[in-house]
Chains A and B, each alone.
Chain A
Amino acid sequence: MSNSHDHDHRPPAPMVDEVSDFEVLEVAVRELCIEKGLFTQDDHNEWTEYMHTLGPLPASRLVAKAWLDEDYKQLCIDDPVKASLDVGIDWINTMPTKFGTPSDYCNPRILVDTPTLKHVVVCTLCSCYPRPILGQSPEWYRTPNYRRRLVRWPRQVLSEFGLQLPEDVEIRVADSNQKTRYVVMPTRPEGTEGWSEDQLAEIVTRDCLIGVAMPRVDRKADDKRPIHRAVHPFGH
Chain B
Amino acid sequence: MSKPIPLLEQIGKDGRVWADLCEEYGVDNPDPPWRITLESTCEVLNEGACVLPSLERRDEEDDIVEDHYKHIPHPERQLLALAHTMILRGVITEEDLAQHMKVIEARLNAV
Contacts and interface: CB of A to CB of B under 8 A. Distances in A.
A23 interface: yes
Interface stretch (A33-41, A106-114, A156-164, A193-201): A33-41
Interface residues of B, number: 60
A16 B31 CA distance: 12
A17 interface: yes
Of A29, A52, A136, A235, chain B has the most CB atoms within 10 Å of the CB of A29
B32 A22 contact: yes
Contact of A229 (B41, B70, B74, B101): B70
A139 B104 contact: no
Contacts of B105: 19, 24
Nearest to B72: A22
A228 interface: no
Main secondary structure of the interface of B (DSSP, over half): helix
B25 A16 contact: yes
Contact of A38 (B18, B51, B63, B79): B51
Interface in B19-47: 21-22, 24-27, 31-41, 43-47
A47 B55 CA distance: 19
A191 interface: no
Given A47-B40, A235-B62, A178 B101 contact: no
A23 B22 CA distance: 14
Nearest to B22: A16
Given A102-B54, A235-B62, A21 B27 contact: no
B108 A233 contact: no
B55 to A, nearest CB: 6
B28 to A, nearest CB: 8
A44 B74 contact: no
B97 A139 contact: no
Contacts of A236: 63, 66
A70 interface: no
B101 A25 contact: yes
A28 B100 contact: yes
A22 B69 CA distance: 13
Contacts of B83: 25, 29
Interface of A: 13-33, 36, 38-39, 43-44, 47-48, 51-52, 96-97, 101-103, 125-127, 136, 139, 142-144, 178, 227, 229, 233-236
The 10 closest A-B pairs by CB, nearest first: A21-B15, A126-B58, A47-B40, A39-B44, A14-B26, A26-B34, A103-B54, A48-B40, A28-B100, A139-B74
